[in-house]
Chains A and B, each alone.
Chain A
């Protein structure tokens, strides 16, 4: 008999039947009686004073029901780093100043979208344009225009991490490399754009349906920004068309829909256009990296010094977290005895940068893994070998930062080495590049300042044995509804089909911080497991009495049967126990509660997952064009709860991370994003997608539910570095800036040839 009945089995997603029949109702699909449609007017200037907004003509247009500007707000600035008021710097509806092309200044509600759009043209905004700055390196210069009042040199935030004696250690190194890298931006490109339906009623209660990664955050942030009490706001997340980090801050669709609905006491729906999605929502943080790495002849890494300047864009958002995590993950997944990081986030007059899948780690992994291969090359050491020599191991403490319990990095290296050997001698112009990574299982530092447990769940066992699971966890496509239902079914000993999950509705679910930082499986999984265990224990009390068993025996439930743990042949039906237990409780359903907040796990994360990826490319040396042939990933994420889910996360991450390495970019001119459409923003399509192979490594994470930890976000980290290293292996050119476009490869090849000729 296998250890588990539900966990590790290949199941259908619990939301599957709805999604494959087109019956799932997304926020995008919702229509309420009397509903109005909203549109948002945005700044065409990267930096300007707002002198006057005249909405009179727009208000007179037939079909327009209301217009709001900053004057209709309570005049507060918002931010998700609520613990630090100075980082709450965004008005959403700007009153006095706009700071990027896309900043919102007014919103209209009308009987249909066309009318609302027409009304936007009738709003007259008088701006006084100001000098603007777009490049973070220029923004921190003395003469640069100041973007936020009182923020010297436009430095939004800085971060320092240090252990050991870096300067002393560099003196002992046999070889030191200093390199610079530039990491580009990336758009999330969720298939469902940001959208919200807000309905404020005459009783003073606001209900919002929205495409979000955290209904709890949106509830709390709406309370901050509207002056309503948290309990008067109910946020419901219907099925959601992707998040990837873009949907857990309060956005303009949510805020403007709420303000309009509160003014008009009618439901208002706002759906951002794809162009707004590209230009007026947040994006991945571009970073300028300066790296110094020192090693002994034998490849032992002694010291690393990292300096980073990030392009913050106009507001903080989650940028402070990205700045910290890129510094922390710059040390991953290696045991640096001496390490120093200094990161600076500069405000610029560009679209704000914030969280995106990987959260600073795809950047640090690209630069770190590129430089490590360069170091290995200098020292004449095999790339796998240098990683093996320095790689993290179980029960390792990142000095003063984090404690790593489970770690399967070395098994992953072995598997990838085997894979490369099996591939044998490569055809000409082919190269395999390797990249190793680690990632966290949810964040600990409470910048949001929530007074609640990080995750909580309620399990209700009903008279027929069916189970309702209530949790604030947000399934945005990654599959948490399925994974959490599996955890619940396993712990309670019932079938997956017995569980009905109710998630991400603040009106009925206990709070959860939401789906970001790879936290749901471990954190909410622990809460669900505890809630299910609580319900199970209540059932077992009745079962023990009913079965009249000796006190020395333990009872358990599995496959809907209650049995003696050490004498499984003695058992009774779970369904009978439920009926009697509820009768015994005077008819009260069995209710189990569970919550989880990491304690004594440092400031970063309670657990880390690891992996190694090998990317094979074929480069055309004439044109620089290259093809991603195969991406093989050895990966460990503790106990695999939902294998179909992990496969999907892994392959999907390669599409997104491969795009980051290969083609996705947001070129700008004077703060204007030049490719704000899916036609012009190049994404990996089915024909570009490489073959993918997964080599799963078994580990067990003591802190996670059934031994599980992060699986999905970390997979965004390795690919850009693996591609860079593969291109180098194939044709001997090193590209230090993302994305690694064929054009860059072409130019580098020509430069290399020219140098050769000179010699």
Chain B
């Protein structure tokens, strides 16, 4: 029996029908076609599916889609404004903060949520902010440098 789900993703309202056990990540990827959000495991331990739910970082495989009813969701596709990249995205490019790129969407969303909550995190707080996200390629330090550069104001958002 499918249930109605209303949610806003990247500012766009959606109304879809889903079986109750559907996960948020499944709706995002399979129904809305937002495949930027990845899945690297099935037990909420890798962080590749991290999105923002009402401003907080959430692993979208760890909640049922229906739990997001009425929520504001932001995915990696919602970071850039048109062709203009978000500061974190620019910093990731400059600092080589990704390689295979499969964890990158989750890293960007975890970092975005961190900076939304705490615009001036220390290095340790940045590490804590992405500790739920596995990256098998970079060794994290380039990601930490990229986030630090944004914290230092090296990448201004164009208004």
Give chain A's interface residues, CB within 8 Å of chain B. 10, 12-13, 15-26, 28-29, 188-193, 239-242, 244, 273-275, 476-479, 644-645, 647-648, 650-656, 677-679, 683-687, 689, 691-692
What 8 new A-B contacts, CB under 8 Å, besides A20-B98, A192-B102, A679-B43?
A12-B94, A21-B77, A191-B46, A192-B40, A274-B40, A647-B96, A652-B99, A655-B139
* Per-position binary interface string of chain B over residues 97-111, scored 1 when its CB falls under 8 Å from any chain A CB and 0 otherwise: 011111111001000
With A192-B40, A655-B136 known as contacts, the answer to whether A15 contacts B127 (CB < 8 A) is no
For A477, list chain B residues within 8 Å (CB).
Answer: 99-102, 137
Given A191-B134, A242-B102 in contact, is the A692-B141 Cβ separation under 8 Å? Answer: yes
Say how far B3's CB is from chain A's closest CB, in angstroms: 17
Known contacts A648-B99, A686-B144: A19-B139 contact under CB 8 Å: no
CA distance A706 to B89 in the complex (A): 32
Which residue of A23, A191, A654 is within 8 Å of B102 (Cβ)?
Answer: A191
Q: What is the bound-complex CA distance between A677 and B41, given in angstroms?
A: 8
> Taking A19-B104, A685-B131, A686-B131 as contacts, is the C-beta distance between A191 and B38 under 8 angstroms?
yes
Q: How far is the CA of A653 from the CA of B139 in the complex (A)?
A: 7
**Quick check: B76 and A476 within 8 Å, CB to CB?**
no
Chain B 129-150 per-residue mask, 1 if CB under 8 angstroms from chain A, else 0: 0110111111111111000000
Q: What is the minimal beta-carbon distance from B106 to any residue of chain A, in angstroms? A: 9
Given the contacts A16-B93, A21-B89, A241-B100, A273 and B42 also touching, CB distance less than 8 Å: yes
Knowing A21-B79, A192-B102, A655-B136, the reply to whether A28 touches B45 (Cβ < 8 A) is no
Decide if A15 touches B101 in the complex (CB within 8 Å).
yes
Q: Is there contact, CB below 8 Å, between A648 and B43?
A: no
Chain A positions within 8 Å of B32 at CB level: none
Residue picked from A478, A652, A653, most chain B C-beta under 10 Å:
A652
Does B8 lie at the interface of the complex (its beta carbon under 8 Å from any beta carbon of A)? no
Residue pair B142, A239 in contact (C-beta under 8 Å) = no
Q: A262 to B29: give the CA distance in the assembly, Å.
A: 27
Contact A686 B35 (CB under 8 A): no
Cβ contacts A to B, 29 pairs, < 8 Å: A13-B93, A16-B98, A20-B92, A20-B98, A22-B35, A22-B77, A29-B35, A188-B136, A191-B38, A191-B40, A193-B40, A242-B136, A242-B137, A478-B99, A648-B99, A650-B139, A652-B137, A655-B135, A655-B138, A656-B136, A677-B41, A677-B45, A679-B43, A683-B134, A684-B139, A685-B131, A686-B127, A687-B131, A689-B139
Q: What B residues does A192 contact at CB under 8 A?
A: 38, 40, 100, 102
CB-based nearest A residue for B128? A687
Q: Are A678 and B46 in contact (CB under 8 A)?
A: yes
- Residues in B with CB closer than 8 Å to A23 are 36, 77
A-B contact count (CB 8 A): 173
The A-contacting residues of B in range 55-107, CB under 8 angstroms, are 75-77, 79-80, 85, 89, 92-96, 98-105
- What's the nearest-Cβ distance from chain B to residue A656, in Å? 7
Contact B101 A239 (CB under 8 A): yes
The distance in angstroms between the C-alpha atoms of A22 and B131, with both chains bound, is: 21
Closest residue of B by beta carbon distance from A692: B141
B48 at the interface (CB under 8 A from A): yes
Chain A positions within 8 Å of B34 at CB level: 22
Determine if B100 and A678 form an interchain contact, defined as CB atoms under 8 angstroms apart.
no
6 cross-chain pairs, A with B, having the tightest CB-CB distances, nearest first: A22-B36, A477-B100, A241-B102, A19-B101, A651-B139, A22-B76
Report which of B41, B96, B140 forms a contact with A686, defined as CB distance below 8 A: B140
Q: Which residues of B contact A685 (CB under 8 A)?
A: 131, 134, 140
Q: Which of A22, A25, A479 neighbours the largest number of chain B CB atoms within 10 Å of its CB? A: A22
A714 to chain B, nearest CB (A): 15
Residue of A nearest to B39 (CB): A28
Q: Give B64 Cβ to nearest chain A Cβ, in Å.
A: 15
- Residue of B at shortest CB range from A476? B100
A648 near B138 with CB under 8 A, answer: yes
Cα(A687)–Cα(B43), bound, Å:
20
Is the pair A678, B41 in contact by a Cβ cutoff of 8 Å?
Answer: yes
- Tell me, in angstroms, the Cα distance from A678 to B127 when the chains sit together: 19
B27 CB, min distance to chain A CBs, angstroms: 14
Instruction: Specify which chain A residues have a CB less than 8 angstroms from the CB of B80 in the assembled complex.
Output: 21
A18, A20, A192, A242, most chain B CB atoms within 10 A: A20
Among B85, B94, B138, the residue within 8 A (CB) of A21 is B85
Complex contact A679–B101 (CB within 8 A): no
Binary contact readout B5-28 vs A (1 if CB under 8 angstroms, 0 otherwise): 000000000000000000000000
| Bound CA span A38–B121, Å | 45
Instruction: Report the Cα distance A171→B104, complex, angstroms.
Output: 57
B129 to chain A, nearest CB (A): 8
Q: Is the CB of A191 within 8 A of B48?
A: yes
B41: A residues at CB distance < 8 A: 274, 677-679
Look across to chain A and name the residue whose beta carbon is closest to the beta carbon of B132.
Answer: A685
- Min distance, Cβ B12 to any Cβ of chain A, angstroms: 15
Q: Which residues of chain B are near A677, meaning CB under 8 Å?
A: 41-43, 45
> Given the complex, which residues of B lie within 8 Å of A684, measured CB to CB?
139
Tell whether A191 pairs with B43 under 8 Å between CB atoms, given A23-B36, A29-B35, A647-B142.
Answer: no
Q: Is the CB of A25 within 8 A of B137?
A: no
Q: How far is the CB of A53 from chain B (nearest CB, A)?
A: 27
Is A22 touching B139 in the complex (CB atoms < 8 A)? Answer: no
A650 to B, closest residue via Cβ = B139
Which residues of chain A are within 8 angstroms of B138 by Cβ–Cβ distance?
648, 651-652, 655
A22 and B37 in contact, given A273-B42, A651-B139, A651-B142 (Cβ under 8 angstroms)? yes
Say yes or no: A275-B89 contact (C-beta < 8 A), given A22-B37, A689-B140. Answer: no
Chain B residues with CB under 8 A of A193: 40
